[in-house]
Structure 1
Amino acid sequence: MSKTYTPSPRARVKRAHHRAAYDNESVFAILDSAQIIHVGYFIDDQPYVTPTLHWRDGETLLCHGSSASKMLRHLRHGAPVCVTASIFDGYVLARSPFHHSANYRTVMAYGTARMVEGRAAKEAALDRMMQTLFPGRLAECRGNTEQEIKATTVITMTIDEAAAKTRSGPPMDDEEDYLTVNAWSGELPARHSYARPVADPRLDPGCPLPDYLNPYRGR
């Protein structure tokens, strides 16, 4: 369901605020397109920022890792966190160094991290990750062992507030420079794509490439 976050001063975009969006559809689109997020938190007054894979279930962001992870051991107790996601879409070449820029899609979100409790809930969260990344793969893999589940921590963060900020399009030069500066100007788009899958050397030669990898071709 579409909703708009009401940003507090910490989440409100102040610079180039016309590029900001606070609706959850804009925020979710960027989070779902980003391969990783960066999680910011404090431990004993020391700031840390940790990159991690993530997935989303409605208003909730999830990540996982080793139960021995410093970040996850801290976050499991209900720590406040700031999560960012960013996608670089290309350079913008202007007629002056000052107006050079980049095209991008970014999100900054705030919430409180909590640990997923209980084996059933943890397995359901991990299944959701697999289903999000590779729909249908769960049916091919063996299930998690008791030890694997015990060694894994899953953290959730319900998004309390968030802001998206994006830039697209050509440079915004001073009007006089369009007439007096003859330097090439425009956009140098960046492309994010996956290469052809590389099979495990120990894979059975008769095992075909699964259909759920097809959407990654050309991405």
Structure 2
Amino acid sequence: MANPPAHLIPSRAAKRANYEPETINSILDEALYCTISYSADNKPYAIPTAFVRYGNRIYVHGSVGSHLMRELEKGIPVCITVALMDELVVAKSAFHHSVNYRSVVIFAQAEKIESVADKTEAFKWLTEKIVPGSWDYLRPITDREVLKTTALAFKIDEASAKLRTGMPVDDDNDLELPIWSGLIPLQTKRLTPIPDKLSEGLPLPTHLAAI
């Protein structure tokens, strides 16, 4: 994006902004949850929810009775945010402590998906993102279940990423202080699945054993 609109330019550390679709998409594909912020009835809302990116859109779902879904399907403006924390940045002073992160901000309006076939496809994309390899293993979703669920899509046309990497940046006068500084890596990973009582005698499916 050669000349991003003003609302996509960070007010601080603008040099960390990135508008390349490859960067934005890689962050969206790694994150499992986003936060959707909007205003309704003169009140602010910020709701975390699972999502999936497919092409130039992200998809979310919820009950047809959900306040969030009913508000968003009106096409009101929303701000969608995603953040991945990679490392704690430990400096020689509390002032320069920081975090290495990757984040995305999207401004968009919802498009309601009406077709049962298209909704089912969106649910498949989301299921495969959250638990890869599970869609074909599970009991097939029914049309009744699809009709009880709202699916919304948001274009990623107005989006920006912001990233921080690297070591702490201390004041020159602090560089020789005998105080440890560096990075503390953070990691989110899938651990060994834990069965419920009904599954204790069942073998772990291949797609879960690969986690």
Query: What band does the TM-score fall into relative to the shorter chain?
Result: over 0.9
Distance 2:140 2:189 in 1: 30
Q: CA deviation at 1:137?
A: 2.1
**1:5–1:24 contact (8 Å) kept in structure 2:** no
Equivalent of 2:116 in 115, 119, 122? 119
Distance 1:177 1:120 in 2: 61
Equivalent of 1:63 in 60, 64, 74? 60
More displaced stretch, 193-202 vs 137-146: 137-146
Ranges in structure 2 where 5+ consecutive residues have no aligned partner:
none
**Structure 2 equivalent of residue 106 of structure 1:** 103
Deviation per CA, 1:20-56: give whole Å up to 9, x if none: 1100111111111112100011112211100000001
**Structure 1 equivalent of residue 190 of structure 2:** 194
Q: CA deviation at 1:215?
A: 5.0
1:138 maps to 2:138 = no
How large is the RMSD of aligned CA atoms in angstroms?
Answer: 1.7
Deviation per CA, 1:73-93: give whole Å up to 9, x if none: 011121211100001122211
Q: CA deviation at 1:127?
A: 1.6
Distance 1:115 1:208 in 2: 39
Distance 1:129 1:5 in 2: 31
1:9 maps to 2:22 = no
Distance 1:34 1:134 in 2: 13
Count of residue pairs brought into register by the alignment: 211
**1:61–1:157 contact (8 Å) kept in structure 2:** yes
| Aligned residues with identical type, % of pairs | 36
Equivalent of 2:15 in 14, 18, 35? 18
Q: CA deviation at 1:213?
A: 2.8
- Secondary structure at the counterpart of residue 144 of structure 1: coil
**Structure 1 equivalent of residue 28 of structure 2:** 31
Ranges in structure 1 where 5+ consecutive residues have no aligned partner:
none
Structure 2 counterpart of 1:200, one-letter code: D
Equivalent of 1:208 in 197, 203, 211? 203
Distance 1:185 1:215 in 2: 37
Q: CA deviation at 1:103?
A: 1.2
- Pick closer, same or farther for the CA change 1:155–1:6 going to 2, 3 Å: farther
Structure 2 counterpart of 1:197, one-letter code: P
Distance 2:38 2:3 in 1: 22
Distance 1:5 1:55 in 2: 26
TM-score normalised by length of structure 2: 0.93
